[in-house]
Amino acid sequence: MKEIWVPKKVFFTAGVGHHEDALVSFELALRDAGIEKFNLVYVSSIFPPGCEIVERDEGLKHLSPGQIVFCVMAKMTSNEAGKTIYASIGVAIPEDKNLNGYLTEYYGYCEENEDVGKYAEDKAEYMLKTAFGIDPAMKFNVTKKAKVEEGKFTTVVATAVFIL
């Protein structure tokens, strides 16, 4: 019975939205990421043992509008024109499918050419190494950056979306 709450699949997505209203900019970022139709519940950053990574389009086929969907999300909103913002999910997955991996969520301001995704990825790897004393079999990041437009709020999201 307890395994019903362990996700079997996950997909990664990211988006950006610009609008005069902060909440609308967030909605537009979710639309850009393709996940605006779901009731998103934020969870902490464990990559479930044995979880299969699927493409976004494949993952969306398993979800219905209005469904409660668990996700790990990094989100940043700003109206500081000219600044660059980012949201990043770092991923580190062990070779042993019986062990959990780690996801990290980082967000904030950055330089346009700064590799903030690598930082998120490295921190996920660090968590895996310090938890189990092993290197990841796979590590990567999903990162979205955007320049804040004059007179508008900009929101960026990076998300790991779980499918039960």
Segment 75-124, tens digit of pLDDT: 999 999 999 999 999 999 999 999 999 999 999 999 989 999 999 999 99
Conformational region of residue 140, where left means phi above 0, alpha means psi within -120 to 50, and beta covers everything else: beta
Whether the per-residue pLDDT at 1 is higher than 70: the answer is no
Rounded to 5°, angle at Cα 92 from 88 and 97: 140
Q: Which CATH superfamily is domain 2-163 in?
A: Pyruvoyl-Dependent Histidine Decarboxylase, subunit B (3.50.20.10)
Q: Is 8 exposed, middle or buried (0-12, 13-18, 19+ CB in 10 A)?
A: middle
Find the distance separating the first CA and the last CA of the chain, reported in whole Å. Answer: 13
pLDDT at 3: 60
Residues making up the chain, counted from first to last: 164
How many CA atoms within 13 Å lie on the side-chain side of 133? 0
